[in-house]
Structure 1
Amino acid sequence: MNPTPPSGNRRSARRGPAMSAALALAASVTAAALVSCGTDSDGPSSEGSRTSAPDASSFSEKTASPLKSKASEAAESARASASEAEASASERADEYEASVSADTERANQAAENALKDVAGRGNAMSDVSMTGKPRSETGGVLASVVTFTNRTDKTADFAVRVDFRDSSGKTVETRYIGTENLEPGKRAQRYAISHEPPEPKLSAHLVKAQRY
């Protein structure tokens, strides 16, 4: 017959499984507490400490946005430059004409009216000559100096028609130039100015001249 163990040993044996269970529970609670601390908002978490890759779509949009803006600005600038270049020749011609004489427009309108019913080349071709001016002196504008000479013994008005033609001989633009109250034996100079762009290159041709 086996000897009966002392009562102290029997209590220890009975406590063994209970102690193990208690220790396991304590370990479980401790682990849970550690996990809880690790995910607490006040401390770094394993999830939060990971370095996430940048959102490619977001990065792409942020990068492309300024580039698109710059491209749009460049395109708009190019369109504006083209538009300005188109208008500049005419504007410069207007400015140049205005600087030459204050009554240019009125005299030129009178010249156009005077030539409406003139047949042929007119009665004053021998009294009018025309010489081109260098573009460097006119701000790039195509201009010719028209010289009127009154060879009669009376004060007279003069009107001329100048055609600007391209290399094929086609008339691209027509200008009417006039001078008024030119005294006998006197000369006057006016300008025939093209409002067309520098290209294609044009040349000025005296078509009609009338003294009236």
Structure 2
Amino acid sequence: MARLLHTRPAATGAHRRTALVAAVLGCAVLVAAGCSSSSSSSSGSSGTASSRRPEASSFSGQLPSALASANASVLESVSAAAASASAAAASFEASVSAQIAAGRSEAKAVLDKTQGAGNAISDVTITGLPKAQAAGFNAALVTVLNNTQAKASYAIKVEFSEQSGKVVDTTYLNVKDLAAGATATPTAFSSLDRDQALVSRVVQAQRY
């Protein structure tokens, strides 16, 4: 009986060691399973994220259509404005050139025989026009007032000069058959040196 009491604790201790080993092994299995599950989950997430990435071929390397459209619209507006300004300049030049050509030769012929500033220099005044109003040209409005009691014609010479006083262009105007007391307002212009402001002045005016 004493021998049996002596061996039971030993058996109990053995059982405890066995149970402890089993518990440790069980934990190891659970940890391994957890790691495997985590790895699988991570791998699954990675696969899902990868499947969401846009393909490189989906990028064209061009501006979004809205921006491209806006850019094209701006370019078209600039082009249209430039074309409009060019047309306005051409129209202004053609109109004034026709006016000048109508009597240029006659006015020059009269003034070539005129001494000094002429007999009608006090009847003529000149006012510069803004370039925006003259399609970008250097231009001036010439006002001719017939102070006499009879109809008369006027030959006028206008010079355009730089700020230094150097004359760069000359034009002639001819006002035909202006009634007594009446006023005429022809336009003088220069197509030269449009990039700078020129000074205009009447240098000769002859009534005939």
Normalising to structure 1: TM-score of the pair? 0.53
DSSP 3-state at the match of 2:185: strand
Question: In the alignment, what sits opposite 2:155?
Answer: 159
Q: State whether structure 2 residue 185 is matched by structure 1 residue 189.
A: yes
Which amino acid in 2 is paired with 1:129? T
Is residue 2:167 matched to residue 1:199? no
Counterparts of 1:19-168 in structure 2, within 5 Å, are 92=89, 95-99=91-95, 103-168=99-164
Unpaired stretches in structure 1, ≥5 consecutive residues:
1-87
In structure 1, what is the Cα distance between the partners aligned to 2:144 and 2:107?
A: 13
Instruction: Compute the displacement of 1:205 (Å).
Output: 1.4
Instruction: Report the Cα distance in structure 2 between the residues aligned to 1:197 and 1:171, rounded to whole angstroms.
Output: 11
- State the 1:110 CA deviation: 1.6
Change (3 A) 1:101 1:140: closer
Structure 1 residue 183: deviation in Å? 0.7
Aligned length: 122
Amino acid at match of 2:192: E
For residues 161-181 of structure 1, the C-alpha deviation after alignment (integer angstroms, 9 at most, x for no partner) is 111111221111111111101
Q: Using the TM superposition, name which of 175-184 and 200-209 deviates more.
A: 200-209
Aligned to 2:171, what secondary structure does the other structure show?
strand
| Contact persistence 2:148–2:180 (CA under 8 A) | yes
RMSD of aligned Cα (Å): 2.1
Cα deviation for residue 99 of structure 1 reads 2.6
Distance 2:112 2:152 in 1: 18
Deviation at 1:98, TM superposition (A): 3.4
- State, as a whole percentage, how many aligned pairs show the same letter: 38
- In the alignment, is the contact (CA less than 8 A) between 1:164 and 1:202 conserved in 2? yes
Is the 8 Å Cα contact of residues 98 and 104 (structure 1) preserved in structure 2? no
CA-to-partner distance for each residue in 1:115-146, whole Å, 9 max, x for gaps? Answer: 01111100001110111111111111111000
Structure 2 regions of 5+ residues with no counterpart?
A: 1-85
The structure that is helix-richer by fraction is 2
> TM-score of the superposition, structure 2-length normalised?
0.54
Partner of 2:172: 176
What SS class does the counterpart of residue 101 from structure 2 fall into?
helix
CA distance, structure 2, for counterparts of residue 184 and residue 141 of structure 1:
32
Determine if contact 2:124/2:143 at 8 Å carries over to the other structure: yes
C-alpha separation in 2, matches of 1:185 and 1:101: 27
CA distance in 2, matches of 1:141, 1:102: 16
Partner of 1:36: none
Shift of 1:102: 5.1
